[in-house]
Amino acid sequence: MRVPVALLLGLTTASLLSPQPTRSAERPRPSADDRAREAVVSALAAGGDIPGQARNLVELAWPEKGKRDEAVATRARRELANFGEHAIGPLRRALNSVKIEYTEEVMATVIGAQRMAPSLTQVEYLACAIDALWMGSHGAKVRAIEMIAENRSPMVIGPMEDSAIDDPTLAPLVIETLGTLRFAQARFYLEKVMMEGSPELRPLAASSLAQIGGLALMPLKNALKAPSRDTRLLAARALLPVATEYELGALYEYLDKHGDDDPALSQSIKALSVNIEKAIAARDASAAAASPQN
C-alpha cells in the first residue's frame, strides 16, 4: 500500500521538531603534563616541611613497588634537582634503596642538584658518587666518575679503582680520570695496569702516570729496566714529554743498556738530555752571577 506523500512529510517534520537525545558532557582526560603536575603538587602539599617534600618526590620518581608513571617520575626528578642541597640527603638514601636500574637517574639528579647549589661542600656530593660506585648500575658509576672528575678529592681513589676491577668496562674511564685528578696515591694501581694489564689499557696507564708526575714517575723509571722491550718502550715514550733533570739518570741508563730498542726514540731522548743539560748549565751560571763575589 502506498503511503500518502502528505503523511510522509508530516512524519519528517515531526521528527525534526521532536527533541533529540543529548550526550552527557564527558570530562576530558587530563594530559600527561597535567597529571604529572597534579601528582607533584599533591606530593609537595602532603610532605609538609622541605625534607618531607623531598622524600615524597623521591617516592614519585622511583617507586618501590608497581609500574611507575613515567611522566610523573620525570616531573618529580626535575623538581628534586631544583631543591639543590635539600635534595642531597634523600637522594643519597635513594641510591642505596631504589632498584638498581634507577640508580643512574638518581645520580643524574644529584648532578642537577649540585648545579643548583654549587656552594654546598663537595663532601656531600662526593659521598653520593662513592655510594654510586659501590651500589649503582654501570650507567650510575659512569655518572659518578664524571662528577668525581670535576670535584677533586683523594677519598675517591680507592672506590674508583675497585669499580674498575669489579667492572672492567669502566677501566679506561677510571684510568684516564685518575690521570686528570693527579693524586700520587693512584700510582700503585696504574703501575699494576701498565705492567700486567691488557694491551689496550697499558698505554693509558703509562700516560696517566706521566700526567700525575712526581712520585708517579717512579714506576715509569723502573719500567725502563723491564725485561720486556714493549714495556721499556711504553715507559720511555710516556716519560719523554715530562722528564726533567731528576729523570736524567734513568734515561742515561736506559740509553746505555737498551738504546737499540727504538733508534728514533733513543735519538729523541738524547736531544732531550742535551736540552736539559743546557738548562741546568744556564741556571747554574745565572746563580753564580747573582751570588756575591769574593
Scored b (16 or more CB within 10 A) or e, 77-116 reads bebbbebbbbbbebbbebbeebeeebbbbbbbbbbbbbee
Over range 149-168, report the average pLDDT: 91
Query: How high is the pLDDT of residue 11?
Result: 36
What's the domain range around 55?
A: 34-151
Q: Identify whether 220 is part of a domain.
A: no
Q: Identify whether 74 is part of a domain.
A: yes
Contacts with 234 (C-beta within 8 Å, 6 or more apart), sequence order: 194, 202, 203, 206, 223
Q: Identify whether 5 is part of a domain.
A: no
Judged against a pLDDT cut of 70, whether residue 116 lies above it is answered with yes
Q: How confident is the model at residue 120 (pLDDT cuts 50, 70, 90)?
A: low
Distance CA 124, CA 88 (A): 7
Q: Identify whether 183 is part of a domain.
A: no
Judged by DSSP in three states, 207 sits in: helix
Q: Identify whether 93 is part of a domain.
A: yes
Judged against a pLDDT cut of 70, whether residue 66 lies above it is answered with yes
The size of the chain, in residues, is: 294
C-alpha cell at 66: 608497581
Q: Identify whether 110 is part of a domain.
A: yes
Query: How high is the pLDDT of residue 55?
Result: 92
The total number of structural domains that make up the chain: 1
Query: How high is the pLDDT of residue 293?
Result: 64
Q: Identify whether 230 is part of a domain.
A: no
Q: Which of 134, 110, 132 is nearest to 122 (CA)?
A: 110
Query: How high is the pLDDT of residue 121?
Result: 59
Q: Identify whether 245 is part of a domain.
A: no
Contacts with 261 (C-beta within 8 Å, 6 or more apart), sequence order: 229, 232, 233, 236
Query: How high is the pLDDT of residue 2?
Result: 45
Helices (H) and strands (E) in the chain, counts: 16, 0
Query: How high is the pLDDT of residue 20?
Result: 53
- Compute the radius of gyration of the chain from its Cα atoms: 34
Distance CA 138, CA 126 (A): 17
C-alpha cell at 149: 672528575
